[in-house]
Amino acid sequence: MDQPESSLPHAAVQKGQTPRREELVRLIAQSLYSLGYRKAAATLEAESGVPLYPPEHDRLLLDVMSGRWDACAATIDSLTGITERNRAVAEFLVWRGHFLELLGTGDAGLRLATEVLSRRIAPLAIDRRCVHWLARAVVTSEGAVAPEAVAECRIGLFLDLVEALPPWFRVPSGRLEHLVETAVIQQVASCIYHNLPDEVTLFEDHKCHEEQIPSDCAQILCAHKNEVWFVRFSNDGNYLASSSSDCTAIIWKVEEDDTLTKKYCLEGHKSPISFVAWSPNDRMLLTCGNGESLKLWNVDTGECNLKFGASVKHIIASCAWFPNSEKIVCASCEPESSPNMIFTCDLEGQELEMWAGERIPKVSDLAVTPDGQHLICVCPNEIWIRELRKGREWKIPERQTISSLSLSGDGQSMIVNLNSQEIHLWKTNGSSRVPDKYKGHKQGKFVIRSCFGGSDYLFIASGSEDSQCTFGKEAWRCR
């Protein structure tokens, strides 16, 4: 908020300058000094007639360093635009500094220190505990300033005073840079199509165009023989995995010109493959078939390293990797008479930990946060989150059936697709009470998935039953 003219340094009022112009000149001068351009800053001060610091600043600094305590108090009392509380705090700092210096002179200053405490400090409207502490210091000499430390303590006193005084009294370090950065952040936040952080510049207002979002077909991949049910890029973006109702999955290589070429066709499933999951190091790929065992594939060779079925006697409905690429978590999909189970396995297929029983929900999709601390499971009408290290659990209810889950790359947010043709955005830490909601896609009888995208996970993309892709920005709300 702008200070009234009476609260600004007198130079601006006397010279007929607008407060905003004077503030800008002071900000520029402070920035030049901080960048090391001292001659340029001094020239700016001289030519504009606007000093970096007001006269009150220099006068108070001189009085503090000279130990003219009454003059310090008089300067503080003359300042405008300062609250009574801050004025009391500033005066307390002055008299406390004087008090502690007197204590440091031994018995000679004890009587004077006591007088400063009773006449100058006690009447101030400050926390009484501060007064009591100083009263104890009369007996213990705690905090007393030795004569050789006086100069250093007075510098510290002045810096403390500056923090208690009005904004016009000093220019905070890096203030101009902060204002510029805030403006850039605000422009980026309001840019609907922002997706290229390297293109932000100070030379013009920032605005990304619709072309920043991929909207043209670049290539059609025709290797599958039936419906494609799932696609996912590797974490490093060098590969794409697709799965199909033709019971195969294909690993595609992203070439330097961004075209994709077929690398391996993964065969061995007897049922349609509904899900694939890349290991965090992108060396392995998990494929999950309908009512079929989970398979682990070597991305370099295209060979199946393990079939999770010989040692794990469950039909796996969904799975996810832990961040070390050495462990996975699975949810079983058993007949109605069997209990629901969630369990972790190593890459040899051996069970490491299991949760089972009536309290374990029937899980249709799950994920592990990138830090490996939380397990997130999607149940028919709720999101179940477990803090793995402490065992703490909480649930996020939904009124409609959840069909899929997607976790942002930083693990801070998650989106779920609902049968109500809405996508809900939640925070994984449980802090959000009401989700952000997105509409636009069509979802009736199929499992429709959505995902995060963009440089900072600001976009949400979703498939749709009308053969369209829907994009939204995370910052949008209830569009």
Spans of all domains in the chain: 53-173, 176-211, 240-473
Report the chain's mean pLDDT, rounded to a whole number: 85
Residue 471 pLDDT > 70: no
pTM to 2 decimal places: 0.65
**Structure confidence at residue 246 as a pLDDT band (50, 70, 90):** very high
| pLDDT, position 200 | 79
Q: What's the pLDDT tens digit per position in 171-201?
A: 888 999 999 999 988 888 888 777 776 677 8
**Residue 332 pLDDT > 80:** no
The total number of residues shown for the chain amounts to: 479
SS (H, E, C) the chain: CCCCHHHCCHHHHHCCCCHHHHHHHHHHHHHHHHHCCHHHHHHHHHHHCCCCCCHHHHHHHHHHHHCCHHHHHHHHHHCCCCCHHHHHHHHHHHHHHHHHHHHCCCHHHHHHHHHHHHHHHCCCCCCHHHHHHHHHHHHHCCCCCCHHHHHHHHHHHHHHHHHHCCHHHCCCCCHHHHHHHHHHHHHHHCCCCCCCHHHCCCCCCCCCCHHHCCCCCCCCCCCCCCCEEEEEECCCCCEEEEEECCCCEEEEEECCCCCEEEEEEECCCCCCEEEEEECCCCCEEEEEECCCCEEEEECCCCCEEEEECCCCCCCEEEEEECCCCCEEEEEECCCCCCCCEEEEEECCCCEEEEEECCCCCCCCEEEECCCCCEEEEEECCEEEEEECCCCCEEEEECCCCEEEEEECCCCCEEEEEECCCCEEEEECCCCCCCCEEECCCCCCCCCCCEEEECCCCCEEEECCCCCCCEEEECCCCCC
What is the reported pLDDT for 370? 93
Q: At residue 121, does pLDDT exceed 90?
A: yes
Q: What is the mean predicted confidence (pLDDT) over 209-232? A: 85
44 and 32 Cβ atoms separated by less than 8 Å: yes
**What architecture (CATH level 2) is domain 240-473?**
7 Propeller (2.130)
Asked which of 82-86, 222-226, 260-264, 353-357 is least confident by mean pLDDT, the reply is 353-357
- Pick from 354, 358, 376: which is nearest to 367 by CA? 376
Q: Check residue 477 and give its pLDDT.
A: 33
Task: Give residue 470's pLDDT band: very low, low, confident or very high (50, 70, 90).
Answer: low
pLDDT higher than threshold 80 for residue 469: no
Q: What is the pLDDT of residues 30-46, one digit of tens each?
A: 999 999 999 999 999 99
pLDDT in tens, 382-409: 998 989 888 888 889 998 889 889 999 8
